[in-house]
């Protein structure tokens, strides 16, 4: 069976490489020719640990090829995965323009049976919509099936998540199509849930929204912890040991970011409003997330005296470690607020880069942590890259004008840093 993956973004490339690793012959299709050239030469268009090796491996095994030619790509492949983007529209709804274009392109070009697998995160009802778009684009009636198979990959650990998923969700109403997709994944030992397409579509949104809810709950509780002199990280350990709750996604910090949680929660709330249902919990989840960094920046500003006129080092601008993705990254909001307060901001990240249009005399990005911290009045840690945890903070202290260290991810050893002379403060911990 030959497989086509439409959309060579983060999900598409990871899915393509997973299927190649599972032994299938895969073609990656994207209209962006420079991206196709990069991939064909073994270079990823984004940073993701482990994927580049797998790309080079399967270029060598010839199980993966890349193209911008839709005609032959659709003709040659029986199974087609839709991995195109579904960005937020102005009203918060998911914009299905790329899904529609892909569906129409398949409908126009198909000359034999196709199984279309929707992997992109799409609103409930999209599966039916794709069936309609394909049917309308067909010049003669040719059979096809559309199934939903949402992804649960995390940036930074996509490869591991792809190879060992907690579950495989298949939304299908056709037994033959279900068997076909199960065959693709037969080497994976994960449990498979076969359900209706609409249910599969909602599972994806519900999972992301629930994870974001856990984070916002802990983030709000962290505010109370600060007032009570209790450490939120210790609370998380005790709470997470209850197997009904679980230890994951209880890390308080400056808020969640990325291309998924913010967008998907907006889309779910939009869909709910269309059905006259108000998802009030999610409204609060978003509100806590929007105000979390500002809440703790106010506390840090009090400790420092003022941000105005100060030089502040911001370490880690990606929305989480092991990615170069700065979409909706809390660090960007923090930098913006510092600039509004007339602070000079010096930025470092192991991989991610600030867009050039943001840079100015007041905001610069440096290659090394040493240069970044030189003559700063405070350091704010925004993403928990391993490098930052492992570095010699004792030595770095001498670079600073004032040794204020604000840990937006609670990732450092506060007691040790205090003994090294830092004024250390994190999220949801005793101020004393
Ligand atoms: C998320 C989901 O975890 C994936 O299952 C899903 O497939 C993906 O969205 C998607 O829809 O494509 P991702 O956004 O890559 O993955 O990253 P996460 O690890 O979920 O982190 C999201 C944000 O939450 C980050 O900013 C992270 O720093 C923050 N976070 C995470 C916390 O603040 N506390 C935690 O305890 C965990």
CA of 256 to the centre of ligand 1 (A): 7
CATH superfamily name and code, 2-193: NAD(P)-binding Rossmann-like Domain (3.40.50.720)
pLDDT digit string, tens, across residues 409-424 = 999 999 999 999 999 9
Local confidence band at 229 (pLDDT 50, 70, 90 cut-offs):
very high
**What pLDDT does 158 receive?**
95
Mean pLDDT of 32-47: 97
**What pLDDT does 283 receive?**
98
What does the domain layout of the chain look like in residue ranges?
Answer: 2-193, 196-432
pLDDT digit string, tens, across residues 50-66 = 999 999 999 999 999 99
Percent of the chain predicted with pLDDT > 70: 100
Mean pLDDT of 253-263: 96
State the chain's mean pLDDT as an integer. 97
Q: Do domains 2-193 and 196-432 have the same CATH topology?
A: yes
**What pLDDT does 162 receive?**
96
Q: Is 269 close to ligand 1, i.e. is its CB under 6 Å away? A: no
**What pLDDT does 432 receive?**
57
Mean pLDDT of 164-189: 97
Ligand 1 nearest-atom number relative to CA 257: 26
**What pLDDT does 431 receive?**
65
Task: Verify whether residue 376 is a known catalytic residue.
Answer: no
- Protein residue whose Cα sits closest to atom 13 of ligand 1: 154
pTM for the whole thing? 0.96
Mean pLDDT of 119-131: 97
- Protein residue whose Cα sits closest to atom 24 of ligand 1: 256
CA of 281 to the centre of ligand 1 (A): 19
**What pLDDT does 360 receive?**
97
Q: Residue 334: pLDDT above 70?
A: yes
CA of 210 to the centre of ligand 1 (A): 11
Q: Residue 200: pLDDT above 80?
A: yes
Percent of the chain predicted with pLDDT > 90: 98
Mean pLDDT of 333-350: 98
* Residue 153 φ then ψ, to 5°: -75, 140
**Poorest-pLDDT segment among 14-23, 85-94, 184-193, 368-377:** 85-94
**Answer CATH for 196-432 from 3.40.50.620, 3.40.50.720, 3.90.1150.10, 3.30.2350.10:** 3.40.50.720
């Amino acid at each position: 069976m030959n497989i086509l993956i439409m959309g060579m973004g983060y999900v598409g490339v990871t899915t393509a490489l997973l299927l190649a690793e599972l032994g299938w012959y895969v073609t990656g299709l994207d209209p962006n020719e420079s991206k196709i050239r990069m991939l064909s030469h073994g270079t990823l268009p984004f940073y993701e640990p482990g994927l580049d090796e797998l790309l080079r491996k399967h270029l060598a095994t010839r199980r993966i090829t890349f193209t911008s030619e839709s005609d032959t790509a659709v003709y040659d492949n029986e199974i087609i995965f839709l991995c195109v983007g579904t960005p937020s529209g102005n009203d918060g709804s998911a914009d299905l323009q790329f899904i529609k274009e892909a569906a129409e392109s398949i409908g126009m070009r198909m000359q034999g049976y196709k199984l279309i697998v929707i992997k992109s995160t799409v609103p409930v009802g999209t599966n039916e919509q794709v069936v309609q778009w394909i049917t309308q684009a067909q010049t003669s009636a040719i059979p096809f099936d559309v199934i939903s198979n949402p992804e649960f990959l995390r940036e930074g650990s996509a490869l591991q998540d792809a190879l060992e998923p907690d579950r495989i969700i298949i939304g299908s109403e056709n037994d033959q199509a279900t068997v076909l997709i199960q065959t693709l994944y037969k080497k994976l030992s994960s449990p498979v849930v076969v359900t209706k397409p609409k249910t599969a579509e909602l599972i994806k949104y519900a999972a992301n929204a629930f994870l974001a809810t856990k984070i916002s709950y802990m983030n709000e509780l962290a505010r109370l912890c600060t007032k009570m002199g209790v450490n939120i990280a210790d609370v998380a350990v005790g709470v997470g040991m209850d197997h009904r709750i679980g230890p994951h996604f209880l890390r308080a910090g400056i808020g969640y970011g990325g291309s998924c949680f913010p967008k998907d929660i907006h889309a779910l709330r939009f869909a709910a409003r269309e059905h006259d249902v108000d998802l009030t919990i999610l409204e609060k989840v978003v509100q806590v997330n929007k105000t979390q960094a500002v809440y703790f920046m106010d506390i840090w500003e009090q400790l420092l005296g003022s941000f105005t006129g100060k030089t502040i080092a911001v370490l880690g601008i990606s929305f989480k470690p092991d990615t170069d993705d700065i979409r909706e990254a809390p660090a960007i909001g923090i930098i913006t607020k510092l600039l509004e307060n007339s602070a000079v901001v010096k930025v470092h990240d192991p991989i991610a880069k600030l867009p050039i249009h943001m840079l100015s005399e007041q905001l610069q990005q440096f290659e090394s942590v040493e240069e970044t911290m030189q003559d700063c009045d405070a350091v704010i840690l925004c993403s928990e890259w391993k490098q930052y945890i492992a570095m010699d903070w004792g030595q770095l202290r001498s670079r600073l004008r004032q040794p204020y260290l604000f840990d937006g991810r609670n990732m450092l050893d506060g007691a040790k840093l205090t003994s090294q002379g830092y004024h250390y403060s994190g999220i949801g911990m005793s101020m004393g």
